[in-house]
Amino acid sequence: MKRNFVKEKLKRAKPSVGTWIEIGHPEITEILGNFGFDWFMIDLEHAPHSIERAQVLMQSMGTSPTLPLVRVPWNDVVAIKRVLDIGAYGVMIPWINTKEEALKAVRACKYPQKGGLRGTGPRRAWNYGFDAEYFDKVDDEILVAIQIETETAINNLGEILSVDGVDVAFVGPWDLSMSLGIFRQFDHPRMKKALQTLLDKTKAAGVAPGIFSSIEKINGYIEQGFLFNSLVSDTDLLINGCVDALKKIRGWDPIQSAPAASMLK
């Protein structure tokens, strides 16, 4: 098992940048893997990926140095076990609101030798039995990221981050802003206060802060101290690339009934 260089970066307080994988075609991770992202987050919560499709998306990254991570649908030991068994180097667990939920997430990612609950049957992650050192290394190499998406989670953050084994506390800005009653107002004082709380408490706990970011905001978030940064998603990169390219065509008038026509003005 190769070293998890993303965890090493975060321990040195060096920012890492990845992107969300929502499109289920293996050419997406194969092509984007050439650009030097630190990690891809294959999304099993909101994107329509199956466990089989997630494995295919990982396999198409075979020539890429980018690490495959997976967001599971829920804080469920079976869902977490399955994505680790197909070779994920880390797991993001959504909707963590209490210390007990964080402990459950960490234990699902670790084998009993580290106090966890993960069952022993890793298949692809173990290179089908050819990786003799896998069980000696894996509990230290898997990255455990929890999502902080509610006002409740912000209020309980000190207790949540006291759980040993949490590597990343990751803000979902849309869900958090909705929970705070300021949906999509990412510059609202209440949102800024919540983000500062996360930055302060993660620093005190030795946990890396993370956030899902637009292209326009990512440098600002990194300057604030966010270390685990998602540069939008594959879908957004496709849309932004199309918008930038089509805007360069002088004199062309897009079909006005197209859903994205207003973005081209």
pLDDT digits 0-9 by tens, 12-66: 999 999 999 999 999 999 999 999 999 999 999 999 999 999 999 999 999 999 9
Average pLDDT, stretch 131-160? 98
- Both tokens of 55, joined, read 């494995």
What average pLDDT does range 106-132 have in this prediction? 97
What mean pLDDT, rounded, does the chain reach? 97
**Taking residues 93-116, what's their average pLDDT?**
98
Q: What angle do CA 121, 127, 133 make, to 5 degrees?
A: 85
Q: How far apart are CA 254 and CA 117, in angstroms?
A: 55
In the chain, count H helices and then E strands.
Answer: 12, 8
Query: Which residue range(s) make up the domain with 52?
Result: 5-264
Out of 25, 46, 49, 188, which one is annotated catalytic?
46
For residue 229, list its beta bridge partners.
Answer: 17, 211
The per-residue pLDDT for range 114-124, each reduced to its tens digit, is 999 999 999 99
* CATH code for position 251: 3.20.20.60
For the question of residue 46 being annotated catalytic, the response is yes
Rounded to two decimals, what is the model's pTM?
A: 0.96
Please provide the size of the chain in residues: 265
Q: Does residue 66 contact residue 40 with C-beta atoms inside 8 Å?
A: yes
What per-residue confidence (pLDDT) applies to 265? 83
**Confidence band of 133 (pLDDT split at 50, 70, 90):** very high
Integer Cα distance of 243 and 211 in angstroms: 24
User: How many domains does one find in the chain?
Assistant: 1
